[in-house]
Amino acid sequence: MKLMVMKNYDEISKACAGMISELVKKNSEAILGLATGSTPIGTYKELIRMHKEEGLDFSKIKSFNLDEYVGLGGDHPNSYRYFMDHELFNHINIIKDNTNVPNGKANNLEEFCKEYDEKIDRAGGVDIQILGIGSNGHIAFNEPSSELSVGTFVVSLTESTIEDNKRFFESIDDVPKKAITMGIGTIMKAKKIILLANGKSKANAIKRIVEDRKLTTEIPASLLLLHPDVTFIVDEEAYGK
Ligand code: PGA
């Protein structure tokens, strides 16, 4: 694992966007693994700037997102499809049909999950996967548990995640209780992984991974220590400085 400790959120975002743009310039048909949440917003802003000011070209890029709430359609402002359209896709020249976000309204969710993994494999696999981390150490919606799933699956969200995400909803009762998420195995298949973390609330999870260097399903992000090309880009607060 490579660790980069940056001064602040702005520097994290620029470092991550720099790594993505390097890949996109080298491979115009690269496959990006994308994340939602507040953490990657700065990275997306920087990618939009690079597209507008420097002509960074996404016309042949494909993307797969990590997760989506069950029951929310893409036109729901709290859905992750809506987030991706508004925070990134609508502002760059990526072709919408080349962007994939799990369908939270699929009729057969189990079948959808299986097909999502197959679609990623058929496309050639994710070249670079961006991840945030939950304050409880989750990645995507792989929540701390005695067991973790390998492939994409339907998960019941933990109380801590519902609590973390209620800020985006009118009330805690409006937060969906289930989501579709890539499994740890799906995430680990990416050729390169970048995990971003900023702020004090992430410090405990980061410390337990970076200092303890132990694998535990109680901190799902710790399994990333097994990946051959993973970079943690964190700010001083998330590093506990
Ligand atoms: P955040 O969420 O970026 O909104 O902090 C990260 C996550 O829960 O994975």
Buried b (16+ CB within 10 A) or exposed e, 129-152: bbbbbbbbbbbbbbbbeeebbebb
Nearest ligand 1 atom to the CA of 165 is 4
Task: Clarify whether 85 is annotated catalytic.
Answer: no
Confidence of residue 241 (pLDDT cuts 50, 70, 90): confident
Mean pLDDT rounded to a whole number for the chain? 97
Q: Among candidates 207, 189, 187, 188, which has minimal Cα distance to 197? A: 207
Nearest ligand 1 atom to the CA of 138 is 9
Task: Please name the amino acid found at residue 176.
Answer: P
The pLDDT of residue 26 is above 90: yes
Task: Clarify whether 67 is annotated catalytic.
Answer: yes
Confidence of residue 72 (pLDDT cuts 50, 70, 90): very high
User: How many other CB atoms sit within 10 Å of the CB of residue 217?
Assistant: 16
- For residue range 36-57, what is the model confidence (pLDDT) as tens digits? 999 999 999 999 999 999 999 9
Task: Clarify whether 22 is annotated catalytic.
Answer: no
- For residue range 162-177, what is the model confidence (pLDDT) as tens digits? 998 899 899 999 999 9
Q: Among candidates 130, 126, 128, which has minimal Cα distance to 196? A: 130
Q: Is the CB of 37 under 6 A from ligand 1?
A: yes
Task: Clarify whether 136 is annotated catalytic.
Answer: yes
Q: Is the CB of 200 under 6 A from ligand 1?
A: no
Q: What per-residue confidence (pLDDT) applies to 164?
A: 84
CB 99 within 8 A of CB 84: yes
Q: Is the CB of 132 under 6 A from ligand 1?
A: yes
Q: Among candidates 86, 90, 29, 88, which has minimal Cα distance to 61? A: 29
Cβ partners under 8 Å of residue 31, min gap 6: 61, 62, 63, 64, 120, 123, 124, 125, 126, 127
Q: Which CATH architecture has domain 2-239?
A: 3-Layer(aba) Sandwich (3.40)
The pLDDT of residue 158 is above 90: no
Output the CA 158–ligand 1 centroid distance in Å: 14
Q: What is the DSSP string of 6-25?
A: ESSHHHHHHHHHHHHHHHHH
Nearest ligand 1 atom to the CA of 133 is 9
User: Among 129, 133, 200, which is best to mutate for testing ligand 1, by the most ligand atoms less than 8 A from CB?
Assistant: 133
pTM for this entry: 0.97
Indicate the domain borders of the chain: 2-239
Q: Is the CB of 220 under 6 A from ligand 1?
A: no
- Rounded Cα distance between 238 and 103, Å, is 32
Task: Name which residue sits closest to atom 8 of ligand 1, judged by CA.
Answer: 134
